[in-house]
Amino acid sequence: MKRILGLGNALTDMLMQVSEDDLRELNLPKGSMNLISMEQARMIQLRFASVRKHMVAGGSAANTISTIAALGGKAAFIGKIGADEVGEFYRDDLVKNGVKPLLLTHPQLMSGCSIVLITPDGERTFATYLGASAEMTADDITKEAFVGYDIFHIEGYMVQNHALIEKAIRLAKESGCMVSLDLASYNVINENHCFLKELIRQYVDIVFANEDESFAYTHLNPEESVAKMAGEVDIAVVKVGKRGSYVQQGEQRYHIGAITTACTDSTGAGDLYAGGFLHALADGFDIHKCGEIGTIAAGRVVEVIGTKLSDENWDEIRRICALYRGFMMKYTNI
């Protein structure tokens, strides 16, 4: 099985359920990702001091990498934390989930956090204080980090640091890795559109996007968008929520329906989809099966608050992977 390395913001998620009026009063566009200062983070936490919160180690790429590890894949994660209790919590959580932590430590700054505001329809809006994670630089990335890995996965939020992302992708390609990019947020795409276009066309092999992100990137509907992106990369994926997802490689395109589920919180759905997809790809499955595994992981995570699935859920997905693997070995004599 291929080994997967992730790069992203090391953020501890603080999830809480709020109203749409709360978002309007905070001037946070619903469904967006917003970078905030330490003062703003403290203000939001104070405003919702009486609201029940759920805390988990998160960050888009880390969620994806943890999914891969939970399904039995070999995975590691590069990020930067502060020299504090939150940073230690973050490191311990990666290890607990089977991920090899390749974490740098900033001696002065606090570890980053992402305040996830969940409205009654399950949509999530992010108010993110990057803290130490924002201080990762191109100098922190070395070629040695990529040795022994086959796929390099990056969260789109890192695209805002052009020098870092360019060096990381260049070293990954020089080391023979496939490069996977999750586009992450429509407003990040709008702010970095030209840079992102060039980056994808030159270096990226696999791209993940939801409907809003694919529109921001291509200005096309989902089916046209996945075709457009498949002309720029090897594998393109566009997720369309309750309508499932489109996956395309070359001229081969599939629509994969979503599983029926009660959506409580959509936080992490795209991250776990990418994790399931990449794990299956690393195991040699075709893109249709990869999309199905990603869909099941995403469908299970929206049933819970946060991004952590139960052991029973992971067992279910692992059994399906094993079943697919058995069919593949039977009919291809692998």
Which residues pair with residue 247 across a beta bridge?
A: 237, 254
Residue 259 confidence (pLDDT)? 82
Q: What is the DSSP string of 238-277?
A: EE-GGG-EEEEETTEEEEEPPPP---S--TTHHHHHHHHH
Cα angle 135, 138, 73 (rounded to 5 degrees) comes to: 90
Distance of CA 224 to the CA centre of its chain: 23
Q: Which comes out higher in pLDDT, residue 15 or 233? A: 233
- Encoded amino acid at 119, one letter: T
Residue 112 lies in a domain: no
The residue-averaged pLDDT of 313-334 equals 73
Residue 119 lies in a domain: no
Residue 175 lies in a domain: yes
Residue 66 lies in a domain: yes
User: Among 303, 169, 181, 165, which residue's Cα sits nearest to residue 234?
Assistant: 181
**pLDDT > 90: percent of the chain:** 67
- For tokens 């309750």, the residue is 242
Distance CA 129, CA 53 (A): 17
Lowest mean pLDDT among 38-42, 149-153, 270-274, 322-326: 322-326
Residue 257 lies in a domain: yes
Question: For the chain, what is the domain count?
Answer: 1
**pLDDT > 70: percent of the chain:** 95
The residue-averaged pLDDT of 241-270 equals 86
What are the backbone angles phi and psi of residue 70, rounded to the nearest 5°?
-65, -30
Tell me the pLDDT tens digit for each residue of 170-222: 999 999 999 999 998 898 999 999 999 999 999 999 999 999 999 999 999 99
Q: Around 176, how many Cα atoms within 13 Å sit in the side-chain half-sphere? A: 7
pLDDT at 331 over 70: no
pLDDT at 116 over 60: yes
Q: Hey, which of 35-44, 221-230, 254-263 has the most confident mean pLDDT?
A: 221-230
Q: Which comes out higher in pLDDT, residue 331 or 243? A: 243
Distance CA 229, CA 237 (A): 8
pLDDT at 293 over 90: yes
Residue 47 lies in a domain: no
| Model confidence band, residue 304 (pLDDT cutoffs 50, 70, 90) | confident
Distance CA 242, CA 277 (A): 18
| Model confidence band, residue 63 (pLDDT cutoffs 50, 70, 90) | very high
Domain that holds residue 188: 4-9+61-103+139-332
Contacts of 70 (CB under 8 A, 6+ apart): 97, 98, 275, 309, 314
CATH number assigned to the domain comprising residue 328: 3.40.1190.20
Report the predicted TM-score, pTM, of the whole model to 2 decimal places: 0.86
Which residues pair with residue 15 across a beta bridge?
A: 54, 116
CA distances 311 to 9, 127, 208, 308, Å, are 26, 29, 26, 9
Residue 334 confidence (pLDDT)? 47
Residue 15 lies in a domain: no
Residue 16 lies in a domain: no
The residue-averaged pLDDT of 105-111 equals 91
Residue 329 confidence (pLDDT)? 58
Distance CA 204, CA 67 (A): 21
Mean pLDDT of the chain: 91
Side by side, the strands of the sheet bearing 245-249 are 100-106, 75-82, 4-7, 151-155, 178-182, 206-210, 235-239, 245-249, 252-256
Structure tokens at 193: 């559109």
